[in-house]
Structure 1
Amino acid sequence: MTTIEFFHDAVCGWCYLLSPRLRKIAEKYPVRIVHRTFVLQHNEQEMIARFGSLSNAKQEILQHWKQCQLFSENPELINVERMRIAPFDYPTGYLAALYAKAIEQLCGQQAHWDFFDAVQRAHLYEARNIADAQVLNEIAKAQGFVNAELFTKLCSPCIKQAVMKDKLRAKDFGIHTIPSLVVNGKKVVSQTLSLAQLEQLISTNETDQYAEEKL
Structure 2
Amino acid sequence: MSRLTIDFFHDVVCGWCFNLSPRMRRLAEEFDLDIRHRTFVLQASPAEMAQRWGTPANARKTILDHWEMCRSASDTPELFNIEGMRQARFDYPHGMVAALACKTAETIGGPSCHWDMFDRLQTAHITEARNIADREVVLDLAVSLGHDRTAFSRRLGNPATARDVEQDRRYARRRQVHAVPTLIVQNTGARLVNGPTEDLRAQLRAAIRLTA
TM-score scaled by length of structure 1: 0.94
* Among candidates 93, 98, 117, match of residue 115 of structure 1: 117
- 1:189: how far off? 2.8
* Deviations 1:101-157 (CA, angstroms, capped at 9, x unpaired): 011011110001001101000100100000111111111111001343322222221
Q: How does 1:45-56 map to 2 (within 5 A)?
A: 45-56=47-58
Q: Which position in structure 2 is the counterpart of 1:141?
A: 143
Decide whether the 8 Å contact of 2:188 with 2:211 is kept in 1.
no
* Deviations 1:27-83 (CA, angstroms, capped at 9, x unpaired): 111211111000000111111111111111110000110001110011010011110
Decide whether the 8 Å contact of 2:79 with 2:126 is kept in 1.
yes
Q: How does 1:41-190 map to 2 (within 5 A)?
A: 41-184=43-186, 186-189=188-191
Between the aligned partners of 1:150 and 1:186, the Cα distance in structure 2 is 36
Between the aligned partners of 1:197 and 1:129, the Cα distance in structure 2 is 33
Q: Which position in structure 2 is the counterpart of 1:213?
A: none
Given the superposition, is the C-alpha separation of residues 106 and 203 from structure 1 closer, same or farther in structure 2, using an over 3 Å criterion?
A: same
> Partner amino acid for 1:162?
D
Between the aligned partners of 1:134 and 1:151, the Cα distance in structure 2 is 9
* Among candidates 16, 35, 38, match of residue 37 of structure 2: 35
Is 1:204 aligned to 2:209, yes or no?
Answer: no
Between the aligned partners of 2:177 and 2:187, the Cα distance in structure 1 is 13
Between the aligned partners of 1:186 and 1:125, the Cα distance in structure 2 is 35
Q: For residue 6 of structure 1, give the secondary structure of its aligned residue in structure 2.
A: strand
- 1:188: how far off? 4.7
Between the aligned partners of 2:196 and 2:51, the Cα distance in structure 1 is 32
Q: For residue 187 of structure 1, give the secondary structure of its aligned residue in structure 2.
A: coil
> Partner amino acid for 2:77?
P
TM-score scaled by length of structure 2: 0.95
* Pairs aligned (count): 210
Question: CA RMSD, aligned part only?
Answer: 1.2
Between the aligned partners of 1:148 and 1:61, the Cα distance in structure 2 is 33
Is 1:4 aligned to 2:45, yes or no?
Answer: no
Given the superposition, is the C-alpha separation of residues 145 and 187 from structure 1 closer, same or farther in structure 2, using an over 3 Å criterion?
A: same
Decide whether the 8 Å contact of 2:139 with 2:149 is kept in 1.
no
